[in-house]
């Protein structure tokens, strides 16, 4: 399928507009000593984060993380040995993965919370042979 000049020009304009709206990655490296990915943006801002916080990088080795590349647009980070990608604007929004993945991580940490009330409820549920059945609304 051939791409017309008009289609190509429209795509180039759309890409340029997207790049103008977001900070672009100019450098990225994995700091083995600190165990952090260091991302430098065209604004001069540096962002450092622990890779295990990002979707697709949880179990990555140091060698996998060191092989990171910046996409030609400057909007993405690519980890070829992991077949994983991160979108730079999402990193800046504080989202190190899809909204579904982030929700799962938040739920996991919430489920691990310890409190006197939670321990008491668990003991009561154990005495009653499990959590009470949910009552259907009438």
The domain that holds 77 is classified in CATH as 3.30.2020.40
The better pLDDT of the pair 103, 124 is held by 124
| pTM of the predicted model as reported, rounded to 2 decimal places | 0.58
Tell me the pLDDT band of 19, cut-offs 50, 70 and 90.
low
**Burial classification of residue 57, based on how many CB atoms lie within 10 Å of its CB (0-12 exposed, 13-18 middle, 19 or more buried):** buried
Q: Across the strands, what pairs with 69?
A: 78
Q: For residue 48, what are the domain limits?
A: 22-127
Distances in whole angstroms, Cα of residue 40 to Cα of each of 22, 29, 81, 88: 13, 9, 22, 11
> How far apart are alpha carbons 8 and 36 in whole angstroms?
38
Number of domain units in the chain: 1
Position 15 in a domain: no
Position 111 in a domain: yes
Over residues 109-133, mean pLDDT: 70
Tell whether the model's pLDDT for residue 121 goes beyond 80. no
49 neighbors 58 (Cβ within 8 angstroms): no
Position 14 in a domain: no
């Amino acid at each position: 399928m051939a791409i017309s000049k008009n289609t190509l020009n429209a795509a180039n304009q759309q890409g340029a507009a997207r790049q103008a709206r977001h900070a672009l990655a100019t450098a990225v490296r994995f700091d083995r000593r600190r165990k952090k990915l260091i991302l430098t943006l065209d604004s001069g801002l540096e962002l450092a984060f622990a890779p295990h916080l990002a979707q697709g990088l949880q179990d990555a080795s140091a060698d996998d993380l060191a092989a990171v590349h910046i996409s030609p647009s400057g909007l993405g980070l690519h980890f070829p040995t992991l077949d994983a990608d991160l979108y730079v604007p999402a990193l800046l929004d504080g989202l190190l993965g899809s909204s579904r993945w982030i929700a799962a991580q938040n739920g996991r940490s919430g489920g691990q919370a310890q409190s006197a009330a939670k321990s008491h409820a668990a003991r009561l549920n154990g005495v009653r042979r499990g959590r009470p059945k949910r009552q259907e609304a009438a």
